[in-house]
Structure 1
């Protein structure tokens, strides 16, 4: 089932709603959309869960307004979807830029109604290096990426597809992957990358007490594995699951392990807090 849900006057986002049971709300990576989780949607529905895949504003089938690509606005859009669908006892699953957006959601709206958090190759606690954070990309690298998007977006997507995965993919798969990225608005991609460059959730992790699983590829060239280590240190109720043969697209590099660990976490009663 598909929904087009109004998240603010005149702006609607597209949501895929598949299966029945406990809802799992997936927030996708830049510059993709919820279709990237098609394998997970099937597995969840087969195992008694409800897949909720949001196309963030500016991406996929959602509206593409000029503004509203900061973490705060994106978190409010997720809240609008959850409220409209009257979702309870949800699992939040944030991938790449979806990581800081889901953390911001918990900071703004609290943990009530949320049972667990899954962070996948998260661009958190900060995508870029800061005075108080030495990991991540340099701001100049992000500025160069924005410039490349402006000059030749299709070529940049082709280059991005090649570095996204650690394991070789077919030409057909890479073409499909690129097509998902090119469904995004060019301005949406740029504004979201500016948000990644300028915002962070460094000061928000202490308030997250939910059982949290951190899935991250050891060979990730977009969000280095050091980010996952920092999240694990700073989130008191978290477990880190490394994917040794994976790049940023860990769910396609090691799909069997990813889906097994995902279902293990979703079906578990929780994780043991760190001392």
Structure 2
């Protein structure tokens, strides 16, 4: 594996892990975490004959953390710039949670660049209820509560934020690892990215979306409306894979998740 910093349009440096050769796959992580969480999938996909790139969103992991630039348009533009800088002209794009929203926006803004989209624990459209997406809860209540907790006690909040979305409590070592990764994301980046996660509504993008979409979701995911995922399936004719997990299918049902992921990115 190689790890490098790639400079994007506004001078921000995005950290990228890269492994393997073959058909490219871009992996985009979720809120406050990093490409490190894709460690197993980097190996599994590379061993299956893919060139795999796992980015750290700006403000996360080893990427630069400016004060601003965390809107969905900016995050998608970062991903496009990374692919261009690495000489990738078309890729399967896998986005988990917030990363799913980035993947959907990238597919809309750069249709020639995105061969297919895989949404993990995400519908790619919205994480909260909006006038156009009537699933989940309205954003303001949970957003304000999390922002206040992040301000008052960031360390405790992050422990809860990364641990609670599991179907059952994770093993302590796994929780410790995720907590450590999350704490690398500074408060200003986490707050801005959280606003993007909970206030973004991309329903209007669906009519123009050309890339085929696979969804891999957990039926016991407390952070995702399964009804919303099924609504997207009916709206777009997605391939919908439902696993008996929470928000972390790659950890909670790793073998099933890897099999579904390989089918999704390898389809012609």
Residue number in structure 2 paired with 1:233: 234
User: Partner residue of 2:260?
Assistant: 261
Mean Cα displacement is larger for which, 224-233 or 58-67? 224-233
Mapped partners of 1:35, 1:152: distance in 2: 24
TM-score (norm 1): 0.93
User: Does the 8 Å contact 2:126/2:199 carry over to 1?
Assistant: no
How far has the Cα of 1:93 moved from its partner? 0.6
Q: Which residue of 2 aligns with 1:28?
A: 29
Quote the Cα distance in structure 2 between the aligned partners of 1:242 and 1:132.
24
Question: 1:223 corresponds to which residue?
Answer: 224
Residue ranges of structure 2 left out of the alignment (5+ in a row): none
Structure 1's unaligned 5+ residue stretches are 270-275
The residue number in structure 2 matching 1:74 is: 75
Pair 34,48 (structure 1): closer, same or farther in 2 beyond 3 Å:
same
CA distance in 2, matches of 1:187, 1:137: 24
SS in 1 for 2:240: strand
Matching residue of 1:134:
134
Q: CA deviation at 1:117?
A: 0.9
User: Which residue number in structure 2 is paired with residue 195 of structure 1?
Assistant: 196
- Once residues 94 and 78 of structure 1 are traced to their aligned partners in structure 2, the CA distance between those partners, rounded to angstroms, is 11
Counterpart CA distance in 1 for 2:76 and 2:115 is 17
The 1:18–1:69 alpha-carbon spacing in structure 2 relative to 1, beyond 3 Å, is: same
Q: Deviations over 1:161-205 (max 9, x none)?
A: 331211442211110010111111111110011112322111101
1:246 equivalenced with 2:245 (yes/no): yes
Offset at residue 123 of structure 1 (A) = 5.3
Structure 1 Cα separation of the partners of residues 113 and 225 of structure 2? 31
Q: Is the 8 A contact 2:154 2:187 kept in 1?
A: yes
Q: Which whole-Å deviations, capped at 9, do the CAs of 1:105-149 have from their partners, x for residues lacking one?
A: 12222x213221101011532111122322123221111111111
Question: Secondary structure of the residue that 2:8 maps to in structure 1?
Answer: strand
Instruction: Provide the C-alpha distance between the structure 2 equivalents of 1:113 and 1:199, rounded to a whole number of angstroms.
Output: 22
Contact 1:217 / 1:247 at 8 angstroms: preserved in 2? yes
Q: How does 1:60-209 map to 2 (within 5 A)?
A: 60-109=61-110, 111-122=111-122, 124-138=124-138, 139-209=140-210
Q: Distance in 1 between matches of 2:166 and 2:38?
A: 15
1:196-240 per-position Cα deviation (integer Å, ceiling 9, x unaligned) = 23221111011112221100000001122122112212224x111
What is the rounded CA distance, in whole Å, between the counterparts of 1:3 and 1:154 in structure 2?
28
Work out whether residues 107 and 113 of structure 2, in 8 Å CA contact, stay in contact via their aligned partners in 1: no
RMSD: 1.3
| Cα distance in 1, alignment partners of residues 137 and 209 from structure 2 | 24
Cα distance, 1:15 vs. partner? Answer: 0.3
The count of residues paired between Structure 1 and Structure 2 equals 266
CA distance in 2, matches of 1:242, 1:203: 25
| Secondary structure of 1:164's aligned partner | coil
- CA–CA distance in 2 between the matches of 1:49 and 1:151? 43
Residues 11 and 195 (structure 1 numbering): CA distance in 2 closer, same or farther, change over 3 Å?
same
What is aligned with 2:49?
48
Give the TM-score taking structure 2 as reference length.
0.95
